[in-house]
Amino acid sequence: MWLRLRQIALVAPQLAPVEQALVTVLGLTVCFRDPGVGQFGLENALLPVGDQLLEVVAPTQESTAAGRYLKRRGGPGGYMVITQCDAHAPRRARVESLGVRLAHEFSTASFSNMQLHPKDTGATFFEIDEQKGAGAHDLDGPWMPAGPDWQRAKSTERVTGIVAAELQCDHPDEVAARWGEIAEISVNQDCSLTLDNASLRFVPCTDGRPEGLGAIDVSTADKAAILASAQAIGARRGDHQIYLCGMRINLV
């Protein structure tokens, strides 16, 4: 069985400013806005990063889970690590055997979703999904959450993929072990997990914010252009890092 990092979700108080920053700085293009998130009091935008996706969600009403998450973490930031698997049934059975609760799940003929409760995983939301049907396992294959033709919006002039996610935790070793147990992946000596196309790093909380998804690493095709655009909006953090939507984005 394999497990890929397919999507990273961010949460923000307002959608438009973050969406514009991702377009301006990283050269991304919106591929889809899912009307289905409206039932959760949200609006969203999805933007391809190579064969993966960045999603931004923002509450449109009071008393949403996303709104509570914003308050808990003290502002915008990372929200979900969303992975793609090749066989959902054994993953679902594994989660059940470990007593991990689900925050949300659904299954259709073309897609199975399983969002794990962060109180049982630590760090942030961990989601394991399976796309089904023709081409489902292709790197650039269909991905239901991103709409019917997400590939048309791929732009790799500045960034080409998401190669790592960094999860900050009060007890990184314990959280890494828990995620590894769920994913059935051994924890590396540096407290990381190696997925098929990316890695997950578990680190201590050092930025004054509580547990959560604190950073991602993106592979770049034009780092200079990214840094120049980030500098123009006050989002440059150094020669290899920018800061958008409460997230450290490392340029590799």
Per-residue pLDDT tens for 185-223? 999 999 999 999 999 999 999 999 999 999 999 999 999
Structure tokens that stand for 200 in this block? 């997950």
Find where tokens 């470990």 sit.
98
Q: How confident is the model at residue 44 (pLDDT cuts 50, 70, 90)?
A: very high
The mean per-residue pLDDT over the stretch 154-168 comes to 98
pLDDT at 220: 98
The pLDDT tens digits of the residues spanning 206-216 come to 999 999 999 99
Computed on alpha carbons and rounded to an integer, the radius of gyration of the chain in Å comes to 17
CB 160 within 8 A of CB 50: yes
The pTM (predicted TM-score) of the whole model is 0.97
H or E element in which residue 137 lies: none
Q: Using pLDDT thresholds of 50, 70 and 90, give the confidence band for residue 106.
A: very high
User: In the structure, how many helices (H) and strands (E) does the chain have?
Assistant: 6, 13
Domains belonging to the chain, first-starting first, are 3-251 (3.10.180.10)
